[in-house]
Amino acid sequence: MSVVAATRRRVATLDRRTVAGAFFAALGALDILGFGLGAHAGDAVFRFSVGGESAHVPDLSLPAGTTAIVLGSLSVALGALYAGWQLGRTARRVVIAAVMALFILALLCWVDAGNSPLNIVGLLQSSLTRSIPLVLGAMSGLLGERAAVINIAIEGQLLIGAFAAAVAASAAGMLWLGLISGSLAGGLIGVLLAVFAIRYLVDQIVLGVVLNVFVLGLTGYLYDRALVPYQTTLNSPGVYGTIRVPGLADIPIIGPIFFDSNVFLYITYAVLLLVQVGVFHTRWGLRVRAVGEHPVAAETVGIRVIYTRYRQLVLGGLIAGIGGAYLTIGSVGAFGKGMSSGQGYIALAAMIFGRWTPFGAVGAALLFGFASALQNILSILGAPIPSDILLMTPYLVVILVVAGLVGRVRMPAADGKPYIKS
């Protein structure tokens, strides 16, 4: 019996490897045939400075067609490597990342051939800022799920955070008050989630969806009722200015991307670091994970399961609320109906995609942020591919990865199951 199962498993992994390898090779072929041979004549010029740095990085000019062919060949080789050899876990991941990077580079070459220079630093900068609400939302989900409470209400937490931040900052005329209000509003949804999930044992996925609908309705109603008629007093909060980190911001390429943004990016760094260290390297985190894996065992050694879950959800809400505040007082500068537009669900997917780890979630969030930024730049450049297809790509990639490459993910063992103290 077990031999049969083992054989079947081996066949399945072999299949998966071959399919993935063939997929990489196909991407490479697309690079060669589509982007390489189909390229416009001329060079692709990549710019690496946004202006204002002390050290100037020269533009990189590449013959578009040839480069794409070289990149595509590399991709085909990697596909063959992936299918033919039994690679270690790290090597597999490196290959996947490399193939994606090669594909994107080839795409950029194709798009930019004979066009105005493409600002790589600007592209990466914009990717990073676009992923801020995703990262913060994913952290909110992660904190809850590590204690075994599923948080689908991230979307609602983002939206109400955006609303509260805009209103508070406009009414008081102080941005920091908006930031705090946004965070608190997110925390409030966290409290609601906790009360209904933990005290009233409502199914957590369903509860999250309902809370999202609730917030969508409430903010939409108040927007029409109050924010539209009193636009100047309630919905013109202004936006946080950028802060250059002295010294670090002057490093070429890296400086403008990572150290020349507004306060939200730095908050995100701090939150990310705190969550990573807190959850995996402290006694506090060990207890949280114990609650998520085996609440009964945790309770027997004296960990307060119910209290831990409440705390985690409220903390998560506070963090997602900051992410929401970013949407108004960190980027757009005004609240709009339903402005979170599904980013909470994307954050959730990023967290699962990242296998319930902070850095994994960040990686996935960056993928979405990059796709969104890339789409924006390509539409400015007038790329010869329909932007809708391009916008679809990150979602397709997630499906492919979830179905093929990641396989079965391991979530916290007690995730989604209510704990009834007996």
Partner 1 sequence: MTLLAGEPSGGQAPTGPEQPLREEGPGFRQVFVEGIVYGNSVTVTALAIVTGIVLGGLLIAFSDPHVLHRWAHLFSAPGAAFSSAWDSASSAYSAMFQGAVVNIHSVGKAFHGGSISSVFSPISETLVQATPLILASLAVMLPFRAGLFNIGATGQFIGGAFLAGWVGFGVSLPPVIHVVVAVLAGFAGGAIVGGLVGALRARTGANEVIVTIMLNYVMEYLLLYLLGTAYFRRPGRIDPISPLVQGTARLPHLFGHGLRVNAGIVVALAGAAGVAWLLKRSTFGFEFRAIGFNPRAARTAGIDIGRGYTQVFLIAGGLAGLAGACVVLGTDFTLTPQVYGTYGIDGITVALLGRGAPLGVVLAALLYAGLHAGGVQMQASTQTPVDIVTVIQAVIVLFVAAPPLIRGLYRLRARPVTSETRATPTITYVGDP
- Contact of 166 with 235, CB cutoff 8 Å: yes
Q: Does 3 bind partner 1 (CB under 8 A)?
A: no
Strands (E), 111-270: 118-119, 242-244, 260-262
Q: Does 14 bind partner 1 (CB under 8 A)?
A: no
Distance of closest approach, residue 379 Cβ to partner 1, in angstroms: 13
Of the pair 168, 180, the CB lying nearest partner 1 is at 168
Binding residue (CB under 8 A) for partner 1 from 82, 103, 196, 326: 196
Distance of closest approach, residue 293 Cβ to partner 1, in angstroms: 14
Binding residue (CB under 8 A) for partner 1 from 220, 238, 252, 278: 220
CB atoms within 10 A of CB 114: 12
Name the strand (E) or helix (H) holding 60. Answer: strand 60-63
Of the pair 6, 206, the CB lying nearest partner 1 is at 206
Name the strand (E) or helix (H) holding 64. Answer: helix 64-84
Binding residue (CB under 8 A) for partner 1 from 32, 105, 211, 366: 211
Q: Does 404 bind partner 1 (CB under 8 A)?
A: yes
Rounded Cα–Cα distance for residues 329 and 262 (Å)? 10
Binding residue (CB under 8 A) for partner 1 from 59, 250, 293, 415: 415
Of the pair 136, 346, the CB lying nearest partner 1 is at 346
Going by the DSSP 8-state scheme, the letter that residue 332 receives in this structure is I
Rounded Cα–Cα distance for residues 339 and 328 (Å)? 9
Distance of closest approach, residue 406 Cβ to partner 1, in angstroms: 8
Contacting partner 1 within 146-175 (CB under 8 A):
150
CB atoms within 10 A of CB 301: 8
Q: How many residues bind partner 1 (CB under 8 A)?
A: 53
Binding residue (CB under 8 A) for partner 1 from 60, 80, 87, 209: 209
Contacting partner 1 within 336-395 (CB under 8 A):
342, 345-346, 348-349, 352-353, 386, 388-389, 391-392, 395
Rounded Cα–Cα distance for residues 279 and 321 (Å)? 20
Rounded Cα–Cα distance for residues 136 and 132 (Å)? 6
Distance of closest approach, residue 422 Cβ to partner 1, in angstroms: 12
How distant, in Å, are the alpha carbons of 104, 218, 280, 283, 284 from that of 308? 43, 29, 16, 13, 10
Three-state secondary structure call for residue 203: coil
Contacts of 338 (CB under 8 A, 6+ apart): 159, 216, 219, 220
Distance of closest approach, residue 13 Cβ to partner 1, in angstroms: 12
Binding residue (CB under 8 A) for partner 1 from 6, 191, 213, 270: 213
Rounded Cα–Cα distance for residues 59 and 57 (Å)? 7
Contacting partner 1 within 113-152 (CB under 8 A):
150
Distance of closest approach, residue 8 Cβ to partner 1, in angstroms: 13
Q: Does 6 bind partner 1 (CB under 8 A)?
A: no
Distance of closest approach, residue 5 Cβ to partner 1, in angstroms: 13
Rounded Cα–Cα distance for residues 238 and 166 (Å)? 8
The one-letter amino acid code at 412 reads P
What does the radius of gyration of the chain's CA atoms come to, in whole angstroms? 23
How distant, in Å, are the alpha carbons of 146, 279, 290 from that of 305? 12, 16, 9
Q: Which two tokens stand for residue 314?
A: 């409220």
Q: Please provide residue 264's backbone torsions phi and psi, each rounded to the nearest 5 degrees.
A: -65, -35
Q: Does 231 bind partner 1 (CB under 8 A)?
A: no
Of the pair 207, 257, the CB lying nearest partner 1 is at 207
Of the pair 234, 267, the CB lying nearest partner 1 is at 234
Of the pair 224, 281, the CB lying nearest partner 1 is at 224
Q: Does 226 bind partner 1 (CB under 8 A)?
A: yes
Q: Please provide residue 102's backbone torsions phi and psi, each rounded to the nearest 5 degrees.
A: -60, -45
Binding residue (CB under 8 A) for partner 1 from 85, 176, 221, 307: 221
Which stretches of the chain bind partner 1, using CB under 8 A? 150, 196, 200-207, 209-214, 216-218, 220-226, 229, 342, 345-346, 348-349, 352-353, 386, 388-389, 391-392, 395-396, 398-399, 402-404, 407-409, 411, 415-417
